[in-house]
Structures are given as structure tokens and as C-alpha cells.
Amino acid sequence: MANAWRRERAARWPALSLRGLLAAGLLSAVVVVLCLFWRAAVPEGGFRGGAWAAAKGPIEPLDCRGSPQAWPVFASSVEGLARPFLYSLADLGSLPERPHKNIARMLKGKPFRRPDISLTVQQILGERKAEEGGLVVDVGANVGMATFAAAAMGFRVLALEPVPENLQRLCDGLFLNRAWDRVTLLAAAASDRSGNITLHKLVGRLDNSAVSAEGARMAFKDKEEVAVGVAAVRLDDVVPAERRVALLKIDVQGWELHVLRGARELLSRKPGEAPYLIYEEDERLLRASNATAADIRRFLAGLGYHRCQLRATDAHCTKD
């Protein structure tokens, strides 16, 4: 009986094979079409945080998926926010005898102490719906305290940050907060011209930098600094003209006027379409970069930003 079963199955195999081949051919055609569509829709290297939805040339977004994650990952939620997010103090190495207070808090199982900018960003964006509120542009993103505060609310974010140590933290944040579809990361500084620029990083405090060597030492208590070359872009060259921008936040240790000059087209949009603007207005740092707070206010007034209020060291500006 076993042999008879084999002969019977063998006798029917040609008919099944024809149907199978037809089905396999149809399936293969569908797969080919889907692959062609995928290659047309997704740039080489993957989504890169929804790059084509948030940025244009002249620089490719950083592909965090192609970069190794920091290890070990040591993360906690940021406290006191309506929409919290995760932040990692990864790659700690050996802990000092007296670790920084933020590390000590997290080792005790407490949330990461909330920076003021995270709360400020969520308060401003809370007045807008993510699907209607447009893009958030974070210049001088540092470790992402404004970027992920906005992403946690569903907003798309274009973050610019040139310091490698900070880029690692931002990539960690993309992994931890599953923010691939909301955050596009550019490994670049913003300025009034595209090309290259020299940053000054502090030895022992390499997560912070300034374009001005004097400003770097002034901001971070006269520590020794090292010069590094990084890419620089104009915001008008990377922010799509058709994308509404809800919020533009700039914190670049005295280089703010240069960033704003590179965003003239963005800032020239009519009221209701021009972004809410937050920038650091520290007179000492500005002077170290050959600018003043008055220079910035005059520049902004010429573009229609007549309403600016200083809150601590940050200026908040809107168009009439």
C-alpha cells in the first residue's frame, strides 16, 4: 500500500506542479514589484529617521542604524513631563568615587532630572496638534533634551548636532524612544554659509563646544579646549520650503546670529507660518563671536519678529 500511495501521488504530480508553478510565478512577480517600490521609496541605508520627510540636501542624514550602539546602556525616564521620554547615560566606563549627581540619582532608581528646555518645548508645542503643528528644528541638539521632548508628543524633528559624543547620545535616544519615524539627525553645525567650520571642544567636557575658542572657555570655566573641523550648513538649505515649521530652537554658545542669518528664508515666512523662535541670548558669548543681543533683535525685527521676551537666558520670539 505504501508503494501504491507513492505511485498515485507521482501520477498526479504534473497537474499540481503546473498550478504550483503558476502560483509561484505570480508570487515572484508580486515580490519583484514590491522590491522595486521599496528601492524607489527608501534611500540606500534605510529610513534614517524619516529623512526625506524632514530634510533636503546638501548633507545626508546620519544613519544611526548603521552605527554601533553605546554599551552598556544605562537609561531612565526624564521626570516631570506630561509626555516623558527615555535618556541614556551609556558607555559610562568606570564610575568615579563621587559620580555626577544625575548618575547618582539614576543609580538609586530615580528619574533623570528634567532640563528646563524639555518642559518649555512641551509647553509651547502643547498648543499645537502634531499632525497640524509642523516640523520642530533643533539647532545645537546636544544630547536631545529638546528633540525627544518634541518627538514624544508625535512631532517630527530635524536635529542638528556636530559633536560626536552628542551624536552617540542622540542615536541612543532614537533606539530607546523608537523615534526613527520622527527624528532626522544631521551631523553638522548650522551657520550662515555651508561648508566647513572649526569648533572648540573642552577637554574633559567633550559634549559641549563653541565656534569661538574664547566663548568655549568662557562658557565652561576656562578649561583647555581643542579645535575640530565639522560640516556646516545653512538652515535654508536643509529645511524644505514646503514644510511648516512650528518651532525653531537654537542653542549654539554665541553663534546664534550666524545661524539666524542662514535661516532668512525660513524666518521670512508670513505670520501664522513662521516658526516660534527660541534662542540663547547670552551677551558675553555673543560678543565672543562678534555679535550682540541688539544685533540679533535688529535682524529679527527686519524679518517681522517684533515680539521677543527674555526668559532667563533664552529669548522667545513670535511674529505679529
pLDDT in tens, the chain (320 residues): 333 333 333 334 344 444 444 444 444 433 333 333 333 333 333 334 444 456 677 789 999 988 777 777 778 899 999 999 999 877 666 666 776 677 778 778 889 888 899 999 999 999 887 767 789 999 999 999 999 999 999 999 999 999 888 898 899 999 999 999 999 999 999 999 999 988 877 765 555 677 766 666 665 555 677 888 899 999 999 999 999 999 999 999 899 999 999 999 999 999 989 999 999 999 998 998 889 999 999 999 999 999 999 999 999 999 97
SS3 assignment for the chain:
CHHHHHHHHHHHHHHHHHHHHHHHHHHHHHHHHHHHHHHHHCCCCCCCCCHHHHCCCCCCCCCHHHCCCCCCCCEEEECCCCCCCEEECCCCCCCCCCCCHHHHHHHCCCCECCCHHHHHHHHHHCCCCHHHHCEEEEECCCCCCCHHHHHCCCCCEEEECCCHHHHHHHHHHHHHHCCCCCEEEECCEECCCCEEEEEEEECCEEEEEECCHHHHHHHCCCCCEEEEEEEEECHHHHCCCCCCEEEEEECCCCCHHHHHHCCHHHHCCCCCCCCEEEEECCHHHHHHCCCCHHHHHHHHHHCCCCEEEEECCEEEEECC
Phi, psi of 12 (to 5 degrees): -90, -5
CA–CA distance, 277 with 305 (Å, rounded to integer) = 9
CA–CA distance, 113 with 9 (Å, rounded to integer) = 71
**pLDDT, tens digit (0-9, with 9 covering 90-100), for 82-91:** 999 999 877 6
CA–CA distance, 184 with 201 (Å, rounded to integer) = 24
Q: Which domains does the chain have, with CATH numbers?
A: 114-318 (3.40.50.150)
**pLDDT, tens digit (0-9, with 9 covering 90-100), for 167-182:** 988 999 999 999 999 9
CA–CA distance, 83 with 119 (Å, rounded to integer) = 10
CA–CA distance, 98 with 232 (Å, rounded to integer) = 38
Q: Per DSSP, what are the bridge partners of residue 248? A: 137, 277
CA–CA distance, 107 with 89 (Å, rounded to integer) = 11
